[in-house]
Each structure stands twice: as C-alpha cells, then as structure tokens.
Amino acid sequence: MCGIVGYVGSQSALEVVMAGLKRLEYRGYDSAGVAVLADGGLAAAKRAGKLVNLEKELVDRPLPTGSTGIGHTRWATHGGPTDANAHPHLDNAGRVAVVHNGIIENFALLRAELAERGHELSSDTDTEVVAHLLAEEFSGCADLAEAMRLVCRRLEGAFTLVAVDSDEPDVVVGARRNSPLVVGVGEGEAFLASDVAAFIAHTRSAIELGQDQVVELRRDGVTVTGFDGQPAEVRPYNVDWDAEAAEKGGYDYFMLKEIAEQPKAVADTLLGRIDAAGNLTLDEVRISAAELREMDKVVIVACGTAFHSGLIAKYAIEHWTRIPCEVELASEFRYRDPILDAQTLVIAISQSGETMDTLMALRHAREQGAKVLAICNTNGSTIPRESDAVLYTHAGPEVAVASTKAFLTQLVACYLVALYLGQVRGTKWGDEIRAVIRDLSRIGGAVERVLETMEPVRALARSLAGKDTVLFLGRHVGYPVALEGALKLKELAYMHAEGFAAGELKHGPIALIEEDLPVVVVVPSPRGRSLLHDKIVSNIQEIRARGARTIVIAEEGDEAVEAYADHLIRIPVTPTLLQPLVATVPLQVFACELATARGNEVDQPRNLAKSVTVE
Ligand code: AGP
C-alpha cells in the first residue's frame, strides 16, 4: 500500500525523504511525490510511475533545500496513477501539503462543500480535500496540529495523514486512524513513516501511534494527543531490525534472501518457547491457561498466504486438541454473521499486522465477545495492538511482496498454539506432542537440507517458462500446500495456476488434464497414513495416463512414486503434520525461478502490495 515519510531536523529533508521512500518501495505503488519547506515557502514535485520518474523530475526542476519535508508513494485507490493524482496534495494557495494512506469515505460530500466555498480541486483523489480543509482550519487555529485535530474529527474511513504548512517551517504533523504510522526519534531530528524501514538507517528509537492520535514533530521533540487534544500515552520501543537486515544481502531479490533465511526464521520463532524439559512456555500469550481451557471453538481469520497457514493449522489444532477449528477468509468472515461467543478463540494471522480485511474481522470477533490471539510478524502493528494477545513470529523484515519466510514461521507459530492448547487442556496425545515439539526444534535443519537441493527445481522451472498453466494437487495438509504453491505462481509468474484437493480430480478438474500439462503433486508421507499416500499415488497414475507431466514432491525413501514421476523432488522425512514446512520450500523456489525466467519483477509483482491496508 501507500508509503509515507516525514522529516524535521538538520539534514536535507529531500535526501532523507527520498531515501525513506526507496525503503518503502516494497509496499507496491504507482506514483510518488515530495514536498519541502524552504525560504518561507513550500515546494513540491510528484510523478506517476516509479521513483526514478520523480528523481528525473527533481533533476530537471530542483526543489529548494530545506530541513522539513514529507514524501509519498501511492498505490491508487480513488483516481488513477497520474501526475495530478500523485501525492502530496496542496491547497489553492500552495501553503499546505498533505500525504495520505487509506480511504476517506465521506470525501465526496466534503469535496462538494469545499467547491461551494470556492475551493478549486484539481485531482480525482479523496486526499485532496484534506489539504483544503487544513488550509481553512489553520487560518483560524493556533497551529497545524490543532487544525489537523479539527479536520480529523470530520473525516470518516481509514486514514494516515502527514502534513506541513509553510507558516510553521519546522513542524511536521501526522494523524492516524486504522492505517499504520510510526514515529522515529533521533538526536535533534524526528521522522514519521508507514513503517520503520524508512528511518532505521537514522534511528532505532520508535514510538507506535495508537488509534485516533495526532503527532506533532519538532527538532527537539514529539507531542502526541488524541483527536480531542488530550495528551496521549505513547509506547516507545527499540527497533531490533538493523538497516542491514532489510537489505538484499547479496541476493538478486529480497525474495531469494528471504527464502534462504527460512531455517533461521523458523529457529528464531521457536527460541525461548521450549523449555529444557521439552515443554512449551508461551508466557507472552496473554490469555490464561484457565481461559484457554474454557474455549470450545477456534476460528482462524486471515488472507492469502496467511490463510493457507491457517488451513494447515486446522489439522494440527483439531488433531491435538479435539477442539473444532474453522478457517475463514477474513474478507468473507464478518459478512456471513458468524457464530461467536466468549468461548470462541479467534486467531488472526498476519505478517504485516495491517491487513484491513483481517483487522476488520478481528474487530467484529471482539465485538461478539470472542478472545482474539494474533499471530504476527510486525511488532507494534495494528492487528496485535487490537488483539487480546499476540504470538509474534520472528521472521525479521519480509520485504518481498510474495510471502515466504513469514509463511513458514506462521506455520511454526500455529503448531506452537495447537501444541500449547493441547498441553494446557490435557490431551490423549501427550507423548506425540512431546515428540512433535522435539521434531519442531530440529525442523530448521530439515529446511536447510531442502534448500541445498534446489538446483533441479530451478532448472525445471526455467524449462516451463513458456507454459501458461500449472496445476497443484495435494491431500490432507498437502492440499493447503498445493494452494500456496499455486498462489506463488500466480503472483510471481502471472500464470494460471490452481491448487486442488487430489480427491477432487474425478469430480471435475481431471477434465483439465492434457498432453504435457505440468501438474505438481505434494505426496504425504507413506508412513502412518499409508491409505492417504496410496490414494494420491493412484491420482498421479490417473493424470499421467492422460498425458500430464507429473512433478512429484515426495519424502526421501518413498519408492512408490518413482514409476509415475516425470520429475521427482525429494524432501526430508518429517512428521505428517509438519510436512508443509519442508514441502512448501520447493514451490517457493519454483515460482521465483519461473518468474525470473519470464523476466518478471520478483520483489514487487505487478498490481500487488505488500500490505493491503484497504478493504
Ligand atoms: C502472499 O504471498 C501475498 N503477498 C498475500 O497473499 C499476503 O499473504 C496477504 O495479503 C496477507 O498479508 P498479511 O499476512 O500481511 O496479513
């Protein structure tokens, strides 16, 4: 989604803001702009397209040097990605500039009222009304912060706003409702940004802003109030990601780096959560064991890849705890009038912690009295802040839009929650749970082994660059893995890709099978649930008999599949429920390599944003 940067201090505001916007490019955008206060006035530049277009504009028409400024990368919602619709937006006198992330739902009415009062608006955006409203209010206010509070009280919807006014040359003012905004506090300087990546090169001291708050930045400090003007409690924290961690580390793409980081991300997510006796210690989960014992239903809400981790969690939760578990697309959840009460545990899974669909789903759940546990990768983000408890994944910054290490750590966190529920509630699977905890603590090594054998997968992907369809099949926990493999290929290679439960083939999808059609099949372990294994081997025979090119992901030692696999990808032997942790990795590598072979932009695929902060 949109990226926002604000700066006040002694450095060149333009340099700080432009560097910050570059660090936010991963959020996905289609135009960019900056505004600087200098020489008693305000100067702005904005261009459709990538930052390189704005940089060219700034060379052709340089802005004056100033030490206060704001910047924005826009992901178009109201109004197309044009120069006129790019942010910042200014009032008619050119003294106020504002940038925005979110949607102002009552902008049409506000726009009509402004026009009646003689304001001339020049864009199709909802944001522009704010510049004009701020100019109006500021003319009768003590300062820009007060004007911002008055304007925010008139806005409806989700918005993060950052503004400057040439009458207050050393001040940047921000406001947030729903969309993310974080403050960076430096020595004699201060920053505002959509996320910490924009300023961690300068400072790691951050302040998370809460709902309906206005922040005023000056060189010598930061003031935070509610929209009502009352001083607000703030929560400073130290950002433990350093600038290096968010760089590519020698890889061509952030995605490749993040795939390679998975063993460490998995191990880091387990750190401190398994004690010496092999028991789980999830003290950070601020829902008591007594409350967890009262739960009679679990509902998981999430989107995209996070939804797929929830589908896998369902198998683990129901098996180990015998509590019924529903998994819902967050965007559908609250519209189906779900049955929720105080005995329902809702688990909201989100890498960014800002996905609006998931945020709205958890708000609905809390209104219905359910307890909400967030599984999230971003400290200080909105979803954990609005949940009763949070279990953080420790994947580190995930910059590539296509989620990889966040997915694997979401799985680890889901397994931990399932095992913890089993542990505190007591379950007949006590011995199995202890064995699985032991296996989990070793799974990082298994992922490492998979990563060491990926060259044939990359070669296979390159050989399929000319294909336009790939199907994915799986059974049991392999079915959500098939869905995730298909999503990766869609969002990276822009190919038609679809995941099916293998048992569904005969109910329709087998009609799709034709000569040389690539079909990836995720095969469950032949141990334990051999019936499941034998059925999917039959499925492989059925599609091969109809001409499919079978790409089989199967455990080391599974000989039954060898006769029917045109391409065989081996994964380490793991307990059935944990197999997604190793079976997903080849599918990530496959999609990334195929996208590269097709010349696609891997880290920021077309039309996509890293965090979808609008519904
Ligand atoms: C995953 O590759 C996608 N980028 C997307 O489906 C993502 O998982 C989804 O938008 C949810 O994001 P979140 O985890 O930040 O809530």
Say how many Å lie between the CA of residue 398 and the centre of ligand 1: 11
Mutation choice for ligand 1 from 300, 301, 309, 355, CB with most ligand atoms inside 8 A? 355
The Cα–Cα gap between 585 and 75 comes to 30
pLDDT digits (tens, 9 = 90+) for 399-454: 899 999 999 999 999 999 999 998 888 876 777 878 888 899 889 999 999 999 99
pLDDT digits (tens, 9 = 90+) for 321-330: 999 999 999 9
Say how many Å lie between the CA of residue 602 and the centre of ligand 1: 15
In a domain, 436, yes or no: yes
pLDDT band with cut points at 50, 70 and 90 for residue 77: low
Mutation choice for ligand 1 from 1, 75, 254, 305, CB with most ligand atoms inside 8 A? 305
pLDDT (average), residues 86-106:
92
Domain total of the chain: 3
Mutation choice for ligand 1 from 404, 587, 612, CB with most ligand atoms inside 8 A? 612
> Are residue 115 and residue 76 in the same domain, yes or no?
yes
Mutation choice for ligand 1 from 356, 390, 403, CB with most ligand atoms inside 8 A? 403
With a Cβ cut-off of 6 Å, ligand 1 is lined by 303-306, 350-352, 355, 358, 401-403, 491, 611-612
- Name the token pair of 272: 């401190």
Contacts of 83 (CB under 8 A, 6+ apart): 31, 46, 47, 48
> Are residue 148 and residue 241 in the same domain, yes or no?
yes
pLDDT band with cut points at 50, 70 and 90 for residue 365: very high
Instruction: Please identify every residue annotated as catalytic.
Output: 2, 610
pLDDT band with cut points at 50, 70 and 90 for residue 245: low
Quick one: DSSP state of residue 336?
G
pLDDT of the residue at 60: 96
Q: Nearest 5°: phi and psi at 476? A: 55, -135
pLDDT of the residue at 28: 66
Say how many Å lie between the CA of residue 146 and the centre of ligand 1: 36
**Could you tell me how far CA 264 lies from the centroid of its own chain?**
19
> Are residue 228 and residue 260 in the same domain, yes or no?
no
Contacts of 530 (CB under 8 A, 6+ apart): none
> Are residue 421 and residue 553 in the same domain, yes or no?
no
In a domain, 267, yes or no: yes
> Are residue 218 and residue 279 in the same domain, yes or no?
no
pLDDT of the residue at 527: 84
Q: Give the closest residue (by CA) to ligand 1 atom 9.
A: 304
> Are residue 112 and residue 71 in the same domain, yes or no?
yes
pLDDT of the residue at 272: 76
- Name the token pair of 587: 């599918």
Q: Helix, strand, or coil here: 351?
A: coil
Say how many Å lie between the CA of residue 247 and the centre of ligand 1: 20
What is the total residue count of the chain? 615
In a domain, 607, yes or no: no
Q: Helix, strand, or coil here: 222?
A: strand
- What atom in ligand 1 is closest to the CA of residue 358? 16
Mutation choice for ligand 1 from 179, 300, 303, 410, CB with most ligand atoms inside 8 A? 303
The Cα–Cα gap between 318 and 298 comes to 9
> Are residue 196 and residue 103 in the same domain, yes or no?
yes
The Cα–Cα gap between 48 and 123 comes to 13
> Are residue 329 and residue 464 in the same domain, yes or no?
no
pLDDT digits (tens, 9 = 90+) for 279-311: 888 877 888 989 999 999 999 999 999 999 999
pLDDT of the residue at 178: 73
- What atom in ligand 1 is closest to the CA of residue 610? 4
Domain-terminating residue out of 246, 278, 307: 246
- What atom in ligand 1 is closest to the CA of residue 383? 16
pLDDT (average), residues 353-368:
96
For a pLDDT cut of 70, what percent of the chain falls above it? 97
Q: In CATH, what number is assigned to the domain containing residue 463?
A: 3.40.50.10490
pLDDT of the residue at 535: 95
> Are residue 228 and residue 98 in the same domain, yes or no?
yes
- Name the token pair of 13: 């505001």
- Name the token pair of 92: 């008619």
Say how many Å lie between the CA of residue 610 and the centre of ligand 1: 7
Specify whether the backbone of 10 is left (phi greater than 0), alpha (psi in -120 to 50) or beta: alpha
Contacts of 601 (CB under 8 A, 6+ apart): none
Say how many Å lie between the CA of residue 1 and the centre of ligand 1: 12
Say how many Å lie between the CA of residue 351 and the centre of ligand 1: 7
- What atom in ligand 1 is closest to the CA of residue 608? 4
Q: Which residue has the higher pLDDT, 511 or 611?
A: 511
Strand partners, 554: 570
- What atom in ligand 1 is closest to the CA of residue 355? 16
Q: Are strands 235-238 and 371-376 parallel, antiparallel or unpaired?
A: unpaired
Sign of the four-CA dihedral 106, 108, 111, 112 = negative
Q: Give the closest residue (by CA) to ligand 1 atom 16.
A: 350
Task: Kindly report which listed range (22-31, 126-135, 237-246, 266-275) carries the lowest average pLDDT score.
Answer: 237-246
Task: Give kind and range of the element (H or E) at residue 328.
Answer: strand 325-329
pLDDT band with cut points at 50, 70 and 90 for residue 78: low
Q: Give the closest residue (by CA) to ligand 1 atom 4.
A: 402
The Cα–Cα gap between 357 and 342 comes to 22
In a domain, 614, yes or no: no
At 365, the amino acid letter reads A
At 340, the amino acid letter reads L
On the question of pLDDT at 161 being above 70, the answer is: yes
pLDDT of the residue at 248: 67
Domain-terminating residue out of 441, 468, 501: 441
Domain-terminating residue out of 246, 264, 280: 246
> Are residue 236 and residue 261 in the same domain, yes or no?
no
> Are residue 232 and residue 286 in the same domain, yes or no?
no
pLDDT (average), residues 171-181:
89
Distances (CA, A) of 225 to 163, 173, 239, 431: 16, 11, 23, 53
- What atom in ligand 1 is closest to the CA of residue 357? 16
Say how many Å lie between the CA of residue 395 and the centre of ligand 1: 14
Q: In CATH, what number is assigned to the domain containing residue 18?
A: 3.60.20.10
Q: Give the closest residue (by CA) to ligand 1 atom 5.
A: 304
pLDDT of the residue at 403: 98
> Are residue 236 and residue 259 in the same domain, yes or no?
no
Residue with tokens 């991963």: 26
pLDDT (average), residues 182-208:
93
On the question of pLDDT at 246 being above 60, the answer is: no
- What atom in ligand 1 is closest to the CA of residue 401? 4
The Cα–Cα gap between 304 and 319 comes to 24
What is the overall mean pLDDT for the chain?
Answer: 92
Say how many Å lie between the CA of residue 611 and the centre of ligand 1: 7
Q: Give the closest residue (by CA) to ligand 1 atom 3.
A: 402
Q: Give the closest residue (by CA) to ligand 1 atom 6.
A: 304
For a pLDDT cut of 90, what percent of the chain falls above it? 75
Domain interval for residue 7: 3-246
In a domain, 606, yes or no: no
In a domain, 138, yes or no: yes
